[in-house]
Structure 1
Amino acid sequence: MSPAVGAATLGARRSSRFVAWVRAWRAGLVPYDEIADEIAGDEEHLVADAPGAWTDLPLRDALPCFAKLAPDEIRLVLPAPGDPRGLPGPGAFTGAALLAGEAVVARGLGVIPEVRSHTSGSGVTFETVLWRVYPLPDELPGGGRTEPGPAEAEADLSAALAEATTALTRLDIAHWRPELAGALAALRRPDGGMDLPPGFDPRARRLFARASVLDQVLALAEHAAPGGAVNGYEAQQRDAALRPLTAACRRALVAACNAPLRP
């Protein structure tokens, strides 16, 4: 497996895991004791500004903030500049969510992960995650439900992936970024370890697995500098080819994590 493919299958966005597992808990499909570990994995997760708290709390101790909410009152949003769907109007939460590119929207609460990197005395780098809580109105415009359903999002993602693959092949991406080309090919074999909790139907699970891998691939393409053989025009063409795919990927993740739950 190439480094890019490996990076692409490390894990889903933190907000997507938060929403999926908290919704499953509120639906009575998974026990409370499992939620914090499923969200955090091997990271340390803390929560700042939780209602009624005067200091940062471990994630497990802050999850009762969601105990009175129904599953459909907890939603994933993945906003981008020019596409703030699912967010309330202008304010501190909306600005922070646009900057982070991800957030959790619930009745009366908004939560955004802030990732902090640390280096130990021995030179080992590790990350901690601080979930910052913002007060929100109980009712958001449109109910916070402006995303397509899983079926529509899956069709859109497939179409966008086909178009992007054609464009990237024409740009000969395999010549100057062979690892990215390999990662795109791996999307046809989604990582079975990237799964949703109980309650999500097979379509939502398939969509989440595929979109999660693709999300990491696109992050790699965005942040890694192109090779020296690529000029500015070619880089612009690559970005133009990936832009619709990036939007379709975000919509797919939102649709999968916000899909209706079943016993």
Structure 2
Amino acid sequence: MSAPTGEATLAPRRSSRFVTWVRAWRAGLVPYDDVADAIAGGEEHLVADAPGTWTDVPLNEALPTLSRLSPDEIRLVLPAPGDPRGLPGPGDFAGAALLAGEAVVAGGLGLIPQVRTHTSGSGVTFETVLWRVYPLPSDAPNATLTLPGAAEAEAELATALAETTAALTRLDVAQWRPELAGALAALRRPDGATDLPPGYDPRARRLFARAAVLDRVLALAGEAAPGGAVNGYEAQQRDAALRPLTHACRQALVAACNAPLRP
């Protein structure tokens, strides 16, 4: 069971945790017993439609499905409307991934996290995460050929960040989302909560730390302001300022999480 909804959260994307920890496990760099807990991060995670199962199962019971894959067969995709890079061609998985904005490609399977909100008998609202598994077509194209490497993604992110930070400051986003103040400051000093598991080189770690914090800032900045503190014109300015940085941030996360692993 996760924390009650309605609280401001700056948790990294669930798909990035899934990809990095499963890849490290398949590379023999972390023990299997640690993977499910690291992915869940204190939440309750279930898996639906995993091969060989007839009902939803706990994450740790579904992970053996991926035990024959190499790390390079497991990758993060963060598609967006107009930018489906990383998706293995059209189909049910691609459509669901575009709606979710994040997904995992693992060999012949695709996995997408779905957050479900529940209310207990005492009125407490909480969330669980359901990973839905999709079979991928055997003739799917190699979408990794169109994705940038870590060096290219790092340069693109640095340029976009410099340009957008000034715009966000002018728009004074922290005034209408006070919780952004600390998150914006964290861009220059990422904390250990965004760290990667063993196997990633310093460039990938640096890129992920910056992009993961920024991704959480962008998620908050893109939300409607509480109490209608932003009018329509201001919202358009905000969206225009955030668009190139959002693209660069997605590509940076993908490049960092899918980077080659080292013993």
TM-score by length of 2: 0.91
Instruction: For residue 143 of structure 1, report the CA deviation from its aligned partner.
Output: 4.4
- Mapped to 1, the partners of 2:135 and 2:261 lie a distance apart of 26
Moved more, 210-219 or 18-27: 210-219
* Structure 2 residues not aligned, in runs of 5+: 1-6
Match of 1:28? 28
- 2:216 aligns to what SS in structure 1? helix
Cα distance change of structure 1 residues 167 and 54 upon mapping to structure 2, 3 Å threshold = same
Match of 2:4? none
Match of 1:17? 17
Q: Aligned runs of 1:30-69 on 2, under 5 Å?
A: 30-69=30-69
- Mapped to 2, the partners of 1:229 and 1:48 lie a distance apart of 40
- Mapped to 2, the partners of 1:142 and 1:23 lie a distance apart of 18
Moved more, 129-138 or 108-117: 129-138
Cα distance change of structure 1 residues 139 and 73 upon mapping to structure 2, 3 Å threshold = farther
Matched, 1:112 2:109: no
* Structure 1 residues not aligned, in runs of 5+: 1-5
Kindly provide the amino acid, as one letter, of the partner of residue 51 in structure 1. P
- Conserved 8 A contact 1:107-1:137: no
- Mapped to 1, the partners of 2:155 and 2:203 lie a distance apart of 11
TM-score by length of 1: 0.91
Cα distance change of structure 1 residues 62 and 114 upon mapping to structure 2, 3 Å threshold = same
Cα distance change of structure 1 residues 11 and 226 upon mapping to structure 2, 3 Å threshold = closer
- Mapped to 1, the partners of 2:226 and 2:40 lie a distance apart of 32
Instruction: For residue 142 of structure 1, report the CA deviation from its aligned partner.
Output: 2.7
Match of 2:249? 249
Moved more, 129-138 or 23-32: 129-138
Instruction: For residue 187 of structure 1, report the CA deviation from its aligned partner.
Output: 0.7
Cα distance change of structure 1 residues 52 and 182 upon mapping to structure 2, 3 Å threshold = closer
- Mapped to 1, the partners of 2:113 and 2:224 lie a distance apart of 23
Instruction: For residue 141 of structure 1, report the CA deviation from its aligned partner.
Output: 1.6
- Mapped to 2, the partners of 1:133 and 1:230 lie a distance apart of 39
Match of 1:135? 135
Instruction: For residue 170 of structure 1, report the CA deviation from its aligned partner.
Output: 3.3
Higher relative contact order (CA 8 A, sep 6+): 1
- Mapped to 1, the partners of 2:154 and 2:77 lie a distance apart of 17
Instruction: For residue 119 of structure 1, report the CA deviation from its aligned partner.
Output: 1.7
- Mapped to 2, the partners of 1:60 and 1:171 lie a distance apart of 44
> In percent, how many aligned pairs have the same letter?
81
Kindly provide the amino acid, as one letter, of the partner of residue 85 in structure 1. R
- Mapped to 1, the partners of 2:178 and 2:130 lie a distance apart of 35
- 1:193 aligns to what SS in structure 2? helix
Moved more, 138-147 or 110-119: 138-147
Match of 1:155? 155
Instruction: For residue 98 of structure 1, report the CA deviation from its aligned partner.
Output: 0.4
CA RMSD of aligned residues (A): 1.9
Instruction: For residue 148 of structure 1, report the CA deviation from its aligned partner.
Output: 1.1
- 2:142 aligns to what SS in structure 1? helix
Match of 1:258? 258
- 2:225 aligns to what SS in structure 1? coil
- 1:140 aligns to what SS in structure 2? coil
Kindly provide the amino acid, as one letter, of the partner of residue 126 in structure 1. F
- 2:128 aligns to what SS in structure 1? strand
Cα distance change of structure 1 residues 233 and 90 upon mapping to structure 2, 3 Å threshold = same
Instruction: For residue 144 of structure 1, report the CA deviation from its aligned partner.
Output: 3.2
Moved more, 177-186 or 241-250: 177-186
Kindly provide the amino acid, as one letter, of the partner of residue 40 in structure 2. A
Cα distance change of structure 1 residues 51 and 188 upon mapping to structure 2, 3 Å threshold = same
Kindly provide the amino acid, as one letter, of the partner of residue 192 in structure 2. G
- Mapped to 1, the partners of 2:210 and 2:94 lie a distance apart of 28
